[in-house]
Structure 1
Amino acid sequence: MTGTSVPVSGASVPVTAAHDTRSPSVVEAMGVVLHDAGGPGDADPRVLLGLALRRNPRRAQLLVSRVLGKHVPTDPRLVRAAGLLLGARVADVLDGCAPRPLPVDALHTAVAGDRDAASAVHAEAVDGSGRAHDVAVLGFAETATALGHCVAEALRADYLHSTRRPVAGIATAGGFTEEHSHATDHLLLPTDPAFLTAPRPLVLVDDELSTGRTAFNTIAALHETAPRQRYVLAALVDSRPPDSRLVDDVAALGARLDVVSLARAGVALPADLAERADALRAAVDAGPTGPGPRSPDVVRVRLADLGWPHPTPAGARHGFGPADHARLAAALPAVAAALAGTAGLHPGARTLVLGTEELMAVPLRLAQELADAGHDVSFSTTTRSPAVVTDDPGYALTSGITFPAHDDPADGPGPRYAYNVGGPGDQRWDHVLVVVDPPADTPALDAGLLAALAGRTHALTVVVTP
């Protein structure tokens, strides 16, 4: 559906004014209301978040981050800045200090699309982070893998993210369940078992903290085999209810938990949200669909040929240390410049760097370096999470594509998604760079994601990590 509001049958909806007889927008009809529950120096969650509908019976609402680079193409400098700012706040808490005030005005202006503000916030975040802390950082797949990288970079700490892809030859050191997620099972696959067993503080990183169940499940499972005295939970937005017992529950295990965020949100849900969601999904699904995908012309570029700093891994699925961060930071400007030349990018071209599922950190850093060099770059990532798409006022997901999995996942084939990449009638990207690791560079990639993107961009390049 394009440019129209969606009527809802069988569900009461709020009315914006007594004389207003129009059909409510999707966001209004959902009835989900965000409140700013933070203090001075915190960001406003109503700026950082948009609202959408999940296709998930466990939870209807989807809080869509505007600074994560997952569902919304975003200036990569803003995405990295948000992660570094979160890491700096974690450092303050670890040091026994109050979390530092955020550059709220510049941050909010950057979210609104001001690229100069994004550059300024990024520069401030880089300057304000970097003192080493003896902690381990654990990020949650798939949404927080790059966010965890940024937090670990700010702390100069060892980093690991969970994964949903088993790897031959790497023993599983643990796992946990994300109860409300579309894909629930997480594996922990460090090559160094001491990452999880050393008694140093553990910093857990997620994009949004709603109930705290995933964090508690993880802490309880790890604490049972490797107890430690302290945990820190870091999220872009903390939207736990006021009666949350997460901190007390961790204390009952014999450990301290601190919770750190950029924003605190109160979320008011209507009692009949499930019924509203069903009606809205049905109304949207009754709308027209776009044309099917077509075969693209694709250029492939391998980072191993462009000066990638061996032996730096392409992500933290098995661990990523401070030396890896330093080596990558030193090499990235030249790697990104070589990529721009090989792919034929032009500074004025409208470019999307698209990561794939858990592979977020390297695409983010490449995109950020390209933006620093003057390219007009946005960054986002494909996802496993099904959600409702409609071009409706205030709704967070205005377009989307669906395609098959292309990396032979352990849980079998299934659909994958990319949001806000444009519809067939929208302005095309001048260039899309899809970043994959070798197991995901398959014929299914060409037939699925690349074919779906072909009608939305003038040029398409696949960037393959080592």
Structure 2
Amino acid sequence: MRRPVRHGPRAGEDIWSGSWVTERLGVELAGDESLPGLLGLALRRNPKRAHLLVSNVLGKHVPQSPSVVYGHGVALGRRVRELLGDSAEDAVVLGYAETATGLGHSVADGLGVAPYLHSTRRPVVGTATAGGFEESHSHATSHLLLPEDPSLLAGDGPLVLVDDEFSTGNTVLNTVRDLHARYPRGRYVVVALVDMRSPTDTGRLDEFAREIGARIDLVTTASGTVRLPDGVLEKGQSLVARYEGAAGGGRASAGPSGPVAQFPTPPGSGADRRLPGSGDGHLPQGTRGVVESAATAAWARPAASGPHPADGPGRATRVDLRWPD
């Protein structure tokens, strides 16, 4: 299988298909006709899941045109505005870190009048926490809500919760449970690019809405399910270990399309090396520092090949980054 196109697909070139995990682990996506264009599978280093659902339209992991990224969010926001009618004027939009922060912002733009807040995983000194919840399947499970205006979530208008995919519903249920206890309201709208809940999970949202005495609507672009064969978690962990061992001490990337790169650890870096800049005054030094240094250097020099013929007004210029040896 060809490697994914790193600088963005040109006419006639392959785009990332996400089939590498399916071929090796037997994990499959089944659902709406539009699902393969929205979603693919990657291998995940996680004790709870072997697979990771990776969006083709968020621009977070797979190159995508900004107009496509923004357009999907705005389209969902317009559907929410139509659903809410006059009450859209009182809505607040909440996006989930890290993947859906940009999606949530574009949904808020589609609504047209709604203020926007996204969750964070890092506390900020001097900022009061307005809420918090757990994302049980994530690599970092705790989310915090730190609005500049503490009254942002205290209204009784609709709360619109935006995530890239709706897999079990646990994250949304945990969010609503926490916020409803603090700031009860009569209506919630859950927005996601894809609804990937199993039949067992599908009815839980309705049951929970009855339990708290509120209405919860769901707005998505497509729906489907993930088919997991027996023993997939163990197979996935074995596959991750195999490619990490082959990386020779660096960090191997085993997705989205397979082991495509080795991310070397900068000399002398480690958990005890910190950089200034976060809410608590420090950030861990490591891959992020390498990326920022490479991006700064790439931005400072003109592209030798010039702009791609497809680039033009309203399109982002692509810059290729190379990891240091």
Q: For the superposition of Structure 1 and Structure 2, which TM-score range results when normalised by the shorter chain?
A: 0.7 to 0.9
Q: CA deviation at 1:93?
A: 2.4
Q: Is the 8 A contact 2:95 2:101 kept in 1?
A: yes
Instruction: Tell whether 2:96 aligns with 1:140.
Output: yes
Q: How does 1:23-422 map to 2 (within 5 A)?
A: 25-36=20-31, 38=32, 44-95=34-85, 133-156=89-112, 157-244=114-201, 245-288=204-247, 388-389=253-254, 395=257, 398-399=260-261, 401=263, 406=275, 407-408=277-278, 414=284
Q: Is the 8 A contact 1:27 1:395 kept in 2?
A: no
Alpha-carbon displacement from aligned partner over 1:50-76 (angstroms, at most 9, x marks no partner):
111111112221011011111112111
SS in 2 for 1:72: coil
Alpha-carbon displacement from aligned partner over 1:398-447 (angstroms, at most 9, x marks no partner):
44647677544659855776xxxxxxxxxxxxxxxxxxxxxxxxxx83xx
Q: CA deviation at 1:164?
A: 1.9
SS in 2 for 1:148: helix
Alpha-carbon displacement from aligned partner over 1:157-176 (angstroms, at most 9, x marks no partner):
11111112322332111111
SS in 2 for 1:192: coil
Q: CA deviation at 1:217?
A: 0.4
Distance change (3 Å), C-alpha of 1:197 and 1:76? same
Distance change (3 Å), C-alpha of 1:415 and 1:397? farther
SS in 1 for 2:208: helix
Give the percent of matched residue pairs that are identical in Structure 1 and Structure 2.
46
Distance 1:44 1:52 in 2: 19
Q: CA deviation at 1:460?
A: 8.7
List alignment gaps of at least 5 residues for structure 2: 4-18, 304-325
Q: Is the 8 A contact 2:243 2:252 kept in 1?
A: no
Distance 2:279 2:40 in 1: 30
Q: CA deviation at 1:134?
A: 2.1
Distance change (3 Å), C-alpha of 1:132 and 1:228? closer
SS in 1 for 2:152: helix
Q: Is the 8 A contact 1:55 1:387 kept in 2?
A: no
Instruction: Tell whether 2:321 aligns with 1:459.
Output: no
Q: Specify the code of the residue in structure 2 equivalent to 1:250.
A: A
SS in 2 for 1:197: coil
SS in 1 for 2:199: coil
Q: Is the 8 A contact 1:52 1:64 kept in 2?
A: yes
Distance 2:78 2:26 in 1: 35
Q: Is the 8 A contact 2:88 2:158 kept in 1?
A: no
Distance 2:81 2:263 in 1: 39
Q: CA deviation at 1:189?
A: 1.0
Q: Is the 8 A contact 2:164 2:192 kept in 1?
A: yes
Distance 2:246 2:214 in 1: 52
In structure 2, what is the equivalent of residue 450 of structure 1?
A: 292
Q: CA deviation at 1:203?
A: 0.3
SS in 2 for 1:133: helix
Q: Specify the code of the residue in structure 2 equivalent to 1:63.
A: L
Q: Specify the code of the residue in structure 2 equivalent to 1:450.
A: E
Distance change (3 Å), C-alpha of 1:162 and 1:199? same
SS in 2 for 1:34: strand
SS in 2 for 1:224: helix
What TM-score comes out, normalization by structure 2 length?
0.74
Q: Specify the code of the residue in structure 1 equivalent to 2:257.
A: Y
SS in 1 for 2:46: coil
Q: How many residues align?
A: 276
Distance 1:455 1:280 in 2: 34
Distance change (3 Å), C-alpha of 1:268 and 1:192? same
Distance 2:170 2:302 in 1: 40
Question: CA-atom RMSD, angstroms?
Answer: 3.3
Alpha-carbon displacement from aligned partner over 1:205-224 (angstroms, at most 9, x marks no partner):
00111101111000000001
Distance change (3 Å), C-alpha of 1:246 and 1:78? same
Q: CA deviation at 1:282?
A: 2.4
Q: Is the 8 A contact 1:199 1:227 kept in 2?
A: yes
Q: CA deviation at 1:451?
A: 4.2
Q: CA deviation at 1:289?
A: 5.8
Distance change (3 Å), C-alpha of 1:179 and 1:402? farther
